[in-house]
Amino acid sequence: MFYDRITAQGIDPAAAAFVSETEDDPAVRQAFDRADEIAASNQLKVLHAMQACRLSDAHFTESTGYGYHDIGREALEAIFAEIFCAEAALVRPQLISGTHALAAALFGNLRPGDVLFSPVGAPYDTLESVIGIRPAVGSLAEFGIRYRQAELTESGGFDYSAIRKALEEEPLIKMVTVQRSKGYAWRPSFTVSQMGELIAEIRKVRPDVCILVDNCYGEFTEEREPIEAGADIIAGSLIKNPGGGIAPGGGYVVGKREYVERAATRLTAPGIGGEVGPTLGMTRGLLHGLFIAPQTVGGCVHGAVLTAAVFARLGFAVNPALGETRTDIVQAVRMGDARRVLAFCRGIQQAAPVDSFVTPIAAPMPGYADGVVMAGGTFIQGSSIELSADAPMREPYNVFFQGGLTSAHARAGVVYALDALKKEGLIKL
């Protein structure tokens, strides 16, 4: 019935049939079942955290101005800390993105003369300006904070020899940053277990360093989170996984209290920290989104699994492959051609509930070195927990698919993308 209805909307029946056949693959069904199991487990985790923190409708009241004594904000942050097994949390609408949350954690916990170290290669594009890899006003580099990194191995694993060497040679390393999701790189996203092994090796050499994990796109895709694997602090965006598609904005930093408080001081001002910050009537929406987030993320994983299976059948390289453990909602497909990237994104845009009539094109974006094409007809601007796709316009022309507020919409996005590619003669079915 689903695929009959979608062809009635002008979709090529061959594209719908190809996706339908792929969905019936036992390996796809097994991956769907695993995603559902994880979603159910995480749903209970969120439920129990809200119960343990005695969430009440009294917490949904609005605060304005300074936001002193905002009991809803306090409950929200206590719930985040409980879910992520952390001492403290900073969850604020004033954090406008995942990059902003990470920047608050970095600037709050590093001082002039310190060194920031990445053991997982280059950071996500927007963090290059924050760090100063790409010169930018106000970067860490401008404050005398240096950066170095160890490259991954050819297979995408950790180069422990290079990591130990860097940690031993550079006593001024005060923070280690680990990016969980692949970003725009063609590498594996790191599972919580893999990050735990990395953190344990780092601790053997430098037990004193603060370990920060960029958790964007990873929340609720596994049954554990990075704090449980030994990270000191993690950060992310509420218009990605933990907002459930309902949060209208915001970001979070959770972890050890001292590190979270320093991030709060960076967000506001010295001497003020996390004691202020009005929620402006957003608390109920943030909590509502958090509550449904595990199921929303599970639906996103369905879409990512199906995308991997469909495009692998067509001979495209995909990352991760069907059957591999998933630790984020991002599915990368190596298109190998700019025209295919643009057609894929046009298909995703045509599948949107908002601005489905718009044609996405590549354009300069703040924080990115290359032109970027972004498809996403979303209810919340820039919300990548909603059906979306994006790609930097550079070789080898990888496109990154993610999101879908429901499993059905994520599946529809795959069909629309395939349809757009077929109609433009860029693939054969």
Reference 15, options 25, 27, 3; nearest CA is 3
How confident is the model at residue 8, as a pLDDT?
84
Name the phi and psi angles at 125, rounded to 5.
Answer: -50, -45
Element (DSSP H or E) covering residue 43: helix 26-52
Can the peptide bond before residue 364 be classed as cis, meaning omega within 30 degrees of 0? no
Exposure of 375 by Cβ count < 10 A (0-12 exposed, 13-18 middle, 19+ buried)? Answer: buried
Distance CA 205, CA 200 (A): 9
Distance CA 58, CA 249 (A): 22
SS3 at position 382: coil
Q: How far is CA 346 from CA 204, 351, 352, in A?
A: 49, 9, 10
Give residue-wise pLDDT tens across range 304-320. 999 999 999 999 999 99
Quick check: bond before 135 cis, omega within 30?
no
Stated pTM of the model:
0.95
Give the bridge partners for 235, in sequence order. Answer: 214, 253
Residue 173 pairs in a beta bridge with 115
**Residue 201 structure tokens:** 């090796």
Starting at the edge strand found earlier in the chain, the sheet holding 318-319 runs 318-319, 331-334, 398-402, 388-392, 372-375
| 19-52 pLDDT, tens digit each | 999 999 999 999 999 999 999 999 999 999 999 9
The predicted pLDDT at position 4 comes to 87
pLDDT at 370: 79
Low-confidence ranges of the chain (pLDDT < 70): none
Cβ within 8 Å of residue 5, ≥6 positions away: none
Q: In this structure, what token pair is assigned to residue 189? A: 């996203």
Residue 81 · residue 254 · CB < 8 Å: yes
